[in-house]
Amino acid sequence: MLVTHRPNILYLTGFSGTAGALLIEPTRVILFTDGRYATQSAEEVKEARVRVSRGPLLGAVGEHLRKKKKARVIYESARMTVAENFRVGQAAGRAVRWLGRESLVEELRAVKDSEEIAAMRQAAQLGCEVFQEILSLVKPGVREVELAAEIEYRMRRKGASGAAFDTIVASGQRAALPHARPTEKRVGKNELVVLDLGAILSHYCCDLTRTVYIGRAPARIRRWYQGVQQAQAAALETLRAGAAAGEVDAAARRVLKGYRLAHHFVHSTGHGLGLEVHEVPRLAKGQKGLLQAGNVVTLEPGVYVPGVGGIRVEDDVAVFVDRTEVLTTAPRDFLEL
């Protein structure tokens, strides 16, 4: 099997460099990297042989395979570009048969062990601390980009290696955009503000969203928030080892339907979390896969009303054999600032 996706290489070998190709053979494992990572790979990789290449890594992999009389190689079809596949195939020659497969390593990564969950618990704590600190800065006149920069700066100061994704700060009507990027817009009075942040700590991600209101919220906003909060609670109650991923999503949608808000919920209820901010399993409509002990997922129902704003509440939850644990502990009550 040829592994080229960086998080998968990190998971399998511990190698955190940006240039690597991992070839898993029946009797040995070889990590191909370049001269920039000769020292780093020697320090990080203990269970694989390291081969430092002077040329393109996929060319080196192909040349290695060419020496074999015949071989069948699985590759990550969802992770390798057409150009990369052509390059390694041309270098390997016609004796090699390529078999595309998806999510083989990702399925392993989906089930976290106790050390991984401990790392994610610490990342979640870091994210929650930053959220609590940033609240005092969320006030009329501050720009969205300023808040986003402050969030990422504070995550770094607390030990994060970086942001798990581009921090979202969306205020006013822009809060109705689920993946809004922060702009020069200044936060105004009587507006919703969505804050979605994630930190990477010890290679593992957290993902936290809270929504606040600047001023005294009208009754309909309070009702929307209550619906989102109850939808998340219903999803959490349904979340367990052995439950179908789609059941968790359906539980949240039923609540929002009761509030007549289901048509404003435009994304899935959650997703797997780990070395990447989006992993399997996916908590979405119709997903029949069963949740397993060791999964860590987000629960993030939301409503988005064009012309008004949006509300999302998101937490990270670890699934165990007989229980769940919410890793993110920031207050979920509606905050009026």
pLDDT value for 334? 97
Q: Helix 144-157 and helix 114-134: axis angle, to 10°?
A: 130
- Note whether 73 and 43 are within 8 A (CB): no
Sign of dihedral through CA atoms 128, 133, 138, 142? negative
CB 282 within 8 A of CB 267: no
Q: Residue 137 has which token pair?
A: 């800065």
φ, ψ of residue 164 to 5 degrees: the values are -70, -20
String of DSSP letters for 9-39: HHHHH----SS-EEEE-SS-EEEEEEGGGHH
pLDDT in tens, the chain (337 residues): 999 999 999 999 999 999 999 999 999 999 999 999 999 999 999 999 999 999 999 999 999 999 988 899 999 999 999 999 999 999 999 999 999 999 999 999 999 999 999 999 999 999 999 999 999 999 999 999 999 999 999 999 999 999 999 999 999 999 999 999 999 999 999 999 999 999 999 999 999 999 999 999 999 999 999 999 999 999 999 999 999 999 999 999 999 999 999 999 999 999 999 999 999 999 999 999 999 999 999 999 999 999 999 999 999 999 999 999 999 999 999 999 9
CATH number 3.40.350.10 given to 2-109? yes
Query: How is residue 268 written in tokens?
Result: 């899935």
CB contact at 8 A, 168 and 211: no
Q: Tell me what pLDDT residue 69 has.
A: 80
Contact of 296 with 275, CB cutoff 8 Å: no
Helix (H) or strand (E) holding 92: helix 82-92
pTM here is 0.95
Task: Write out the two tokens for 86.
Answer: 């052509």
Listed by start position, the domains of the chain span 2-109, 114-336
Q: Which amino acid is at 268?
A: S
CATH top-level class for 114-336?
Answer: alpha beta
CA–centroid distance for 68 within its chain: 38
Q: What is the pLDDT of residue 108?
A: 97
Could you give the CA distance from residue 280 to residue 229 in angstroms, rounded to a whole number?
Answer: 24
pLDDT of residue 22: 98
Q: How far, in Å, CA of 73 to CA of 24, rounded?
A: 9
What pLDDT is attached to residue 323?
98
Separation of alpha carbons 10 and 140, rounded Å: 43
> Helix, strand, or coil here: 188?
coil
